[in-house]
Chain A
Amino acid sequence: MAVIRDVMPAFDLLQPSSVADAQRLLAQHGRDAWVMAGGLDSFDWLKDRIKKPKVVVDLSGIDELRGVRSTSDGGVEIGAMTTLTEVVNNPIIKQKFGLLSQGAELAASPQIRNQGTIGGNVSQDARCHYYRAGWPCYRAGGNICYADTPTGRNREHAILDADRCVAVNPSDSAPALIALDAKFVIRTSKGERVVDAEDYFIGPDIDITRLNILRPGDLLTAIRIPSAFAGAQFYFEKIRDRNVWDFALMNVASAMLVSGGNIDRVRVAVNGAAARPLRLKAVEDAVRGKPKNAATGEMAGRLAVQGAVPLQFNAYKIPLMRNLVKRAVAGVEVSTRAS
């Protein structure tokens, strides 16, 4: 069969108006169904004709999945179908959890943020160019990794926690949510489940074919950010080739409560280093109680990259991660130049 791209296969479009309806449709169609949020990731798979579902279940008509609500504990709950633009512009998120606004605003492009959702952004698939081009790699169910060879192109790939597959997670909002200690609300056929942000994501050692814990039929319905880090000191930085519409070579997010110059509570996460956004628990433990200064930052950076294994073309990610984590802990010296 010859391969051809760029025309979506015919499918039936199902547009439920409630989560319950969506779940019923997903149960009914099983493996024939594809769940679509904003659609930006979906359309790539469909237009490349690598995925040919019989039905597409479009979540955009489900009002209960949209919007940002304050919670009684002083946090917020964000419906999974809330667009990234709504997340970026939401005054409560901006004021209390600006880390997420920063991360979300660095994703993709304005039009994509106007359509792409927070649920979609954290649930999107890996962008390894071999995998996305339809090569039969481990992640696609095959028995080979094309990127992890002496000549494979792996500048964008993982330095940590690789297991056969060396793809990385592409999300910009995910590390911010991990740093904010967010909880992900999942509706399964058995009911609702709430998991810590960092536990939503899985590496190839757990399941090489997916980046998160969602199973067919499951829906991510909301993301809750507790008040713990409301108004804390935040740091977010994304390093990418182009200044818009580019995936992170690496990004870092930290949330920190400082008292008397010492780090009181802290959470740090990076993405672009592994198949899942990494919460750097060892770094957090090491810097807790320490003064927020350059020395602590240096120490944090060195600790962060322990165990990192470079591939042929991505050794730069080790100093990049070290320096980004350093900044996420100690802050960055601000340029005082006039212009």
Chain B
Amino acid sequence: MADMAGTKKTEHTKAVSRRKFIQGVIAGGAGASSATYLFRASGVVSGAGARERLITLNVNGQQRRVDVMKQETLAMTLRYKLGLTGTKIGCDRAECGACTVLIDDVPRYSCSTLTHTVRNAKIVTVEGLAAADGTLHPVQQGILEEQGFQCAFCMSGFIMATTGFLKTNPNPTRAELAHGISGNLCRCQDYDKILTAMMRGAELMRGARHA
């Protein structure tokens, strides 16, 4: 499969059926994907400095082999190649924050991050927060206790933004927290209750650290 990137446009855009392609992926031992989407070759011949399409990503502590187009965003890779649909796409334009993930502990909009640019980074999504035994992360627990959020489409982005912010400021005031997670929109406009829940999460997190 590693030769995909180097193959000529005509061989791929024309006749390769999706099914054949998937079989090829599996036969090639690269069957990382739980779903198939946007598998088409980029159609551009590689130039100097180009990278191969088949890459390894460190997601939620696991090494995941995945075939990624050059123009593919991390949000799409997570959702359509790795089956991690907890990361949401609300605007795809770096405006709403629903796609926020941690990249090397830093909250970033995954809709506006090319997957190829985070090959060597540690990526954490909402699916990677709870412990293996199901114990929730304190930020998640805070939401449960305060009934934070309504429709919750924005929730995973807010959780990741908060988790990232608390790494830099574990004991924020309500106003500081609001500034820290101000890159996320909630259209249910449940901001006040979200802040209460996240402040509770921060409190639980500090407690967990001291314990």
Chains A and B share a contact (CB less than 8 Å): yes
**Which residues of A are in contact with B by a Cβ distance under 8 Å?**
6, 8-16, 21, 24-25, 28-29, 39-40, 43-44, 46-47, 54-58, 60-61, 85, 108-112, 114-115, 243-245
Complex: A39 Cα to B115 Cα, angstroms = 12
Cβ–Cβ contact B44 & A114, under 8 A: no
Given A14-B50, A39-B113, are A47 and B165 also a contact pair (CB < 8 Å)? Answer: no
B92 touches A15 (CB 8 A): no
Interface membership of B171, Cβ < 8 A: no
User: A118 CB to closest chain B CB, in angstroms?
Assistant: 16
* Distance A47 CA – B182 CA, assembled complex (angstroms): 24
Residue from A28, A40, A47, A108 with most neighbouring chain B CB atoms (10 Å):
A47
* Other-chain residue from A12, A16, A244 in contact with B70 (beta carbon distance below 8 A): A12
Q: Which residue of A lies closest to B101 (CB)?
A: A111
> In whole angstroms, how far apart are the Cα atoms of A55 and B71 in the complex?
10
State whether B48 touches A28 (Cβ < 8 A). yes
| Contact among B43, B47, B92, B106 with A114 in the assembled complex (CB-CB below 8 Å) | B106
Q: Is B165 a contact of A110 with CB atoms below 8 Å?
A: yes
Spell out B's residues near A (CB within 8 Å): 40, 42-51, 69-71, 73, 92-95, 97, 100, 106-109, 112-114, 116-117, 161, 165, 179-183
Of the candidates B42, B161, B180, B181, the one whose C-beta lies within 8 Å of that of A11 is B42
Chain A residues, Cβ within 8 Å of B69: 10
Contacts of A244 in B (CB 8 A): 179, 182-183
Does A25 lie within 8 Å of B47, measured CB to CB? Answer: yes
Contacts of A24 in B (CB 8 A): 48
In the bound complex, do residue B94 and residue A11 qualify as a contact, i.e. CB atoms below 8 Å apart? Answer: no
Does the CB pair B116–A15 fall under 8 Å? yes
Q: 6 A–B contact pairs at CB < 8 A?
A: A15-B51, A39-B114, A47-B93, A111-B94, A111-B100, A115-B108
Give the residue name and chain of the A residue nearest to B183 (CB): A109
Do B112 and A110 have beta carbons less than 8 Å apart? no
**Nearest 10 A/B pairs, CB to CB:** A109-B183, A14-B49, A13-B70, A244-B182, A12-B44, A111-B183, A10-B42, A8-B71, A110-B183, A111-B109
Q: Which residues of B contact A13 (CB under 8 A)?
A: 50-51, 70-71, 114, 116-117
A55 close to B44 (CB less than 8 A): yes
Q: Counting chain B CB atoms within 10 Å of each CB, which of A46, A57, A109, A245 scores highest?
A: A109
Bound Cα distance from A14 to B71, whole angstroms: 11
